[in-house]
Chain A
Amino acid sequence: MIRIEGLTKVFPNPDGSEKTAVDRVSFQVEPGEIYGLLGPNGAGKTTTLRMISGLLRPSAGRVFLNGDDVTDEPETVKHRIGYLTSNTGLYARLTPREMLEYFATLYGLSKPRAKSRIAELVEWLGMDDFLALRCGALSTGQKQRTNIARALIANPTILIMDEPTLGLDVLSNRLILEMIRTQAEAGKAVLLSTHALDEIETLCRRMGLIHNGRLIAEGDLDALRERTGRQRLSDVFLELVGADDQVFTD
Chain B
Amino acid sequence: MCFWNWLEPMTRYSRINTIWRKELVDTLRDRRTVIAMVLVPLVLYPALMLGSLQAFEVQVANLVTEEYNLAVESEEVKRWLRRLIDSDPARQEETAGKPAEELVEESQAAPELGGEGKKSSLKRTGAQTAKTGVYANPPDYKIWVVPDVGEAVTEAFVHAGVLLEGEPPLPGMTGSTKVLVAYDESDIRSEIAAGGVQGVLDRANLRLLLQRLKEKNLDTAFVQPIARDEWNVATPERMAGAILGMIVPLILIVMTITGAIYPAIDLTAGERERGTLETLMVAPVPTVDLIAGKFIVVTLIGLMSAVLNLLSVGGTIYFGGVGSLFTRGAEFVFPLSALPWILLLLIPLAVMFSALLLAVCSFARSFKEAQNYIVPVMLAGMIPGVVGILPGTRLEGAIMIMPVTNIVVLTRELFLGRFDYVAIFLVVLSTSLYAGAAVAVAAKLFGQEAVLFADSGSVKTVFQRRYFKPRAVPSAAQALLVITLAYSLNFYIQQAIGKSGLSEGLRYLNAVALTIIVVFAVGPWFAARYMRVNATSAFKLAAPDPRGLLAALCFGCSTWILALRWNEIQQRLLPMDSNVARMLEQQFAWLMDIDPLTLVFFLAVVPALCEELFFRGYALSGLRASLGKTGSVVVVAIAFGMAHYSAQRMVTTTALGLLLGLLVVQYRSIWPAMIAHFMHNAISITANHPAGLKPWLTSLGYPDAADASLPGMWVLAAGMLVTIGVLICFVAPRREHPVELPRPQVQTSG
Contact = CB atoms under 8 A, between A and B. Distances in A.
Nearest to A116: B6
Given A62-B749, A93-B29, A94-B26, A54 B282 contact: yes
Given A87-B275, A98-B25, A154-B7, A107 B284 contact: yes
B363 to A, nearest CB: 14
A15 B447 CA distance: 22
A105 B625 contact: no
B6 A113 contact: yes
A89 interface: yes
B472 A17 contact: yes
Nearest to B31: A93
Interface stretch (B694-702, B705-713, B737-745): B737-745
Nearest to B18: A105
Given A79-B284, A88-B278, A108-B10, A15 B744 contact: no
Interface in A40-93: 50, 53-62, 71, 74-81, 83, 85, 87-93
Contacts of A12: 450, 625, 741
Nearest to B625: A14
A57 B626 CA distance: 18
B3 interface: yes
B285 interface: yes
Nearest to B10: A108
Interface in B1-47: 2-4, 6-10, 15, 18-19, 22, 25-26, 29-30
Contact of A58 (B6, B274, B746): B746
Contacts of B464: none
A62 B748 contact: yes
Contacts of B19: 106
B449 interface: yes
Contacts of B471: 14-16
Contacts of A75: 284-286
A59 B18 contact: no
Nearest to A92: B274
Interface string A148-162: 001000111100000
Nearest to B741: A12
A215 B602 CA distance: 62
B348 to A, nearest CB: 30
Contacts of A18: 741
Contacts of A11: 450
B745 A109 contact: no
B279 A88 contact: yes
Contact of B744 (A6, A57, A62, A134): A57
Contacts of A85: 278
B207 to A, nearest CB: 75
B747 A83 contact: no
Given A15-B469, A60-B746, A155-B3, A94 B22 contact: yes
Interface residues of A, number: 57
B276 interface: yes
Contacts of B279: 83, 88-89, 150
B283 A78 contact: yes
Residue in B9, B10, B452, B745 with the greatest tally of chain A CB atoms within 10 Å: B10
Contacts of B360: none
B276 A106 contact: no
A94 to B, nearest CB: 6
A70 to B, nearest CB: 10
A75 B9 CA distance: 11
Nearest to B279: A88
A107 B274 contact: no
- Of B7, B22, B279, B472, which is in contact with the most chain A CB atoms at under 10 Å from its CB? B279
Interface in B444-482: 449-450, 452-453, 469, 471-473, 475-476
Contacts of B542: none
Contact of A110 (B8, B25, B26): B8
B278 A61 contact: no
Contact of B284 (A94, A98, A108, A110): A108
A137 interface: no
A5 B469 CA distance: 36
B281 interface: yes
A103 interface: yes
A27 interface: no
A10 interface: yes
A17 B212 CA distance: 97
A80 B282 CA distance: 10
A130 interface: no
Contacts of A157: 2-4
Contact of B282 (A17, A76, A83): A83
A53 B25 contact: no
Contacts of B6: 109-110, 113
Contact of B7 (A56, A79, A92): A79
B472 A16 contact: yes
Contacts of A55: 278, 281-282, 449, 452-453
Interface centre among A81, A108, A134 (most CB of B within 10 A): A108
A87 B6 CA distance: 29
Contacts of A83: 278-279, 282
Interface in B700-750: 739, 741, 744-749
A92 B32 CA distance: 14
A16 B739 contact: yes
B276 A15 contact: no
Interface string B174-191: 000000000000000000
B749 A61 contact: yes
Interface in A1-29: 5-6, 9-12, 14-18
Contacts of A54: 282
Contacts of B274: 89, 92
Which of B29, B278, B452 has its CB near the most chain A CB atoms (within 10 A)? B278
A96 B472 CA distance: 49
A55 B453 CA distance: 10
Contact of B275 (A6, A88, A107, A156): A88
A80 to B, nearest CB: 6
Given A16-B625, A81-B282, A91-B276, A102 B745 contact: no
Given A17-B472, A78-B283, A93-B30, A57 B4 contact: no
Contacts of B9: 108
Contacts of B625: 12, 14, 16
A102 to B, nearest CB: 5
Nearest to B15: A106
A186 to B, nearest CB: 10
A53 B284 contact: no
Nearest to A90: B276
A89 B744 CA distance: 29
Nearest to A60: B747
Contacts of B10: 105, 108
Contacts of A108: 7-10, 284
B3 A53 contact: no
Contacts of B452: 55
A103 B284 CA distance: 10
Residue in A89, A103, A154, A155 whose Cβ sees the most chain B Cβ within 10 Å: A89
A169 B702 CA distance: 85
A90 B271 CA distance: 9
Nearest to B27: A93
A56 B471 CA distance: 26
A135 to B, nearest CB: 10
Given A16-B473, A108-B7, A109-B8, 8 more contacts: A5-B749, A12-B741, A14-B626, A16-B537, A55-B278, A55-B282, A77-B284, A109-B7
Q: Which 3 A-B pairs have the closest CB atoms?
A: A89-B275, A155-B3, A78-B284
Interface of A: 5-6, 9-12, 14-18, 50, 53-62, 71, 74-81, 83, 85, 87-94, 98, 102-103, 105-110, 113, 134, 150, 154-157
23 contacts: A5-B749, A11-B450, A12-B741, A16-B471, A16-B537, A56-B449, A56-B453, A57-B744, A57-B746, A75-B285, A77-B284, A78-B283, A78-B284, A80-B4, A89-B276, A93-B29, A106-B15, A106-B284, A106-B285, A109-B6, A150-B279, A154-B3, A157-B3
